Structure 1
Amino acid sequence: MAQHFLLSAAARTLSLKSIFSEGEEAAYYRFCRLRWPETDGEPVCPTCGCIDIYDVTTRRRFKCAACHRQFSVTSGTVFASRKLSFVDLLGAICLFVNASKGLSAVQLSRDLDVQHKTAFVLMHKLREAMMAETRDIGLDGEVEVDGAAFGGHVRPANLREDRVDRRRLANRSGKRRVVVVLRQRGGRILTRTFLREAQGVEFARERIARGAMVAADEVTHWDLLETDFDMQRINHSEGYSVAGVHTNLAESFFSRLRRMIGGQHLKVEGRYLDAYAAHAAWLEDHREESNGRLADRLIGGALASPVSRSWKGYWQRRAA
């Protein structure tokens, strides 16, 4: 039997040992190469695009000869105003991508010896970069659509006579959210969070090309998609796959997301669920890439993303 890719040496191209042994300079030049890949790490002014740049070596900054503005490798990106050194930042990203079922902020804070808030904000900035990767992507071909509920657990009362039917809307906590997933077979995964699964109908119409084949379960609100797509339906009370019709890949994604939340994060607030779902989708999409390639992909995406409007100023109590 052939060895699984994740068990092979090809999947391990970056390690904490190599990151910290190579040191700060190597980490810094890695960020430069990923910020400006067209010039092999040579700086380009983010304001005017000029390549005639002066090196302010004492501050690790650059000055544009045309517009005279100073900038750094992280200026205007989600890493702007960073406090961590580049070697620590690269180490954090290595740990983040190595965790195939997600990584808790508590664990990252202990590994890097930083405050929990530092780890929490950094990880959410990285998730923003993950979400940006699929922001403008549409799906076609064969697409599976499904929804799953997360959160809103209501603890049953101690005494039997005090217990209520937790399935009824009146007895829910109001914190329950539904993640709707669109997964193209052989392609990408798109996710979005709603209060109700039926709201995912418009999401599917928005992101799936007309005429594509869409597989869904027996829930009635997916009937509304039949006018726009070639629908295949599977009744899960009869089987998980009948005559080749299934939503197994969508269910596979939810399996990863549930293990991520239940095993690592324990609970996730509804306002952050979109980010965690996008994180799980990103890991699933790139599961066959080495950890070094994952780190470079994530750093490149983060350096191409603008300053976070949700997480900028978190330390000044302007929390997301």
Structure 2
Amino acid sequence: MAQHFLLSAAARTLSLRTIYKDGEEAAYAKFCEMRWPETNGDAICPDCGCCETYKITTRRKFKCKACSRQFSVTSGTIFASRKMAFVDLLAAICITVNAAKGVSMVQLSRDLDCQYKTAFVLAHKLREAMASEVQTGAMLQGHIEIDGAYFGGHIRPENHKADRKDRRLKEHQNGRRRVVVVMRERHGRTLPIVTMSEADGVVLANENVDRMATMSADEASHWDMLHNGWNVDRVNHSEVYSDHGKHTNWAESYFSRLRRMVVGQHHHVSPQYLHQYANQAAWLEDNRRKDNGALAFGLVQNAMGCPVSRAWKGYWQKVA
């Protein structure tokens, strides 16, 4: 039997040992190359677009010959105003892409020897970079599987059976329960969206799925509305998970990764940030066949193309 790609040496093209052996200058050069790939790492002014710049080597900055602006390789990106060394940033990215089910912030802070809140904010910035690739706004095409799964809002039952309430009723819920609706192309993109009810997936499908596509869904009654716009295969999960090619196994595979990420690594995810974890799981799922070097440098390139984070800039100063 042929060896799985992820078990082969070809899947391991980057390691923490290599990152720290190459050192800070090599990591800095890689960030420059990812920021300005069209000039092989030579600086381009983010204000006027001029390619002629001076190097201020003592401070790792550049000065534009045209507009005299000083800037760095991370100016205007999601890593703007960073204090962490480039070799540590690259190591954090390597750790993140190597973790198929995510990594806890306590573990990341220990690996990088930084504060918990530093690792927390850095990880969320990386998730924003992943989201820029997942949430492209392009319509889904081909054959689409759609499904939903609920996360959060768990209410512990009372100790005594006589004191327990029906937690299915709205008045006995805490309002923190959310559903992730995923629309996944077979052999293509994964698009997750966080909403309040799985039935909202019909509206989301109208906004994100091409009318020439075909779809698969389970037996839930709210998916009946999909038949008004698409040719939909339905599978009754109470009887079978796959019926002559009719299934939602690709969507279930995504939820398996996300569920294990939330339960096994993070243990608790706030509804405020659930969409970022959903996007991370989608990015990992869509890029699962790539080697870890391609994943790491692809994520660096995404981060270098993302603007300054509105949610995480000045997060601890409450100016977001």
**TM-score, normalised by the number of residues in structure 2:** 0.98
Q: Distance in 2 between matches of 1:116 and 1:317?
A: 17
> Is 223-232 or 117-126 further displaced after alignment?
223-232
Contact 1:11-1:291 within 8 A present in 2 as well: yes
Return the offset for 1:134: 2.5
Match of 1:314 in 2: 315
Match of 1:269 in 2: 270
1:246-291 CA-partner distances (Å, limit 9, x unpaired): 1011011101101101110001000100000100010010001111
Q: Distance in 2 between matches of 1:157 and 1:269?
A: 23
Match of 1:220 in 2: 221
Return the offset for 1:27: 0.3
Q: Distance in 1 between matches of 2:93 and 2:255?
A: 24
Return the offset for 1:166: 1.6
Return the offset for 1:160: 0.9
Match of 1:121 in 2: 121
- Residue pairs, 1:12-161, within 5 angstroms: 12-135=12-135, 136-161=137-162
1:167-223 CA-partner distances (Å, limit 9, x unpaired): 222222211100000000010100010011111211111111012101011112212
Match of 2:171 in 1: 170
Task: Give the letter for the 1:189 counterpart.
Answer: T
Contact 1:50-1:66 within 8 A present in 2 as well: yes
Aligned-pair identity in percent equals: 61
> Is 233-242 or 284-293 further displaced after alignment?
233-242
**TM-score, normalised by the number of residues in structure 1:** 0.98
Q: Distance in 2 between matches of 1:166 and 1:269?
A: 19
Residues 1:230 and 2:241 are matched in the alignment? no
> Is 268-277 or 168-177 further displaced after alignment?
168-177
1:54-111 CA-partner distances (Å, limit 9, x unpaired): 1111110001111111111100000000010001111111111110110111110011
For these two proteins, the number of residue pairs brought into alignment is 319
Structure 2: which 5+ residue stretches go unaligned? none
Q: Please, what is the CA RMSD of the aligned residues?
A: 1.0
Match of 1:285 in 2: 286
| Deviant stretches of 4+, over 6 Å | none
> Is 304-313 or 222-231 further displaced after alignment?
222-231
Task: Give the letter for the 2:293 counterpart.
Answer: G
Task: Give the letter for the 1:146 counterpart.
Answer: D
Q: Distance in 2 between matches of 1:138 and 1:110?
A: 41
Task: Give the letter for the 2:39 counterpart.
Answer: T
Q: Secondary structure at the match of 2:131?
A: helix
Match of 1:296 in 2: 297
Q: Distance in 2 between matches of 1:171 and 1:112?
A: 42
1:127-180 CA-partner distances (Å, limit 9, x unpaired): 011111132232111000000000111101000101112222222221110000
Return the offset for 1:298: 0.4
Q: Distance in 2 between matches of 1:318 and 1:63?
A: 29
Task: Give the letter for the 2:296 counterpart.
Answer: A
Task: Give the letter for the 2:72 counterpart.
Answer: S
Contact 1:157-1:163 within 8 A present in 2 as well: yes
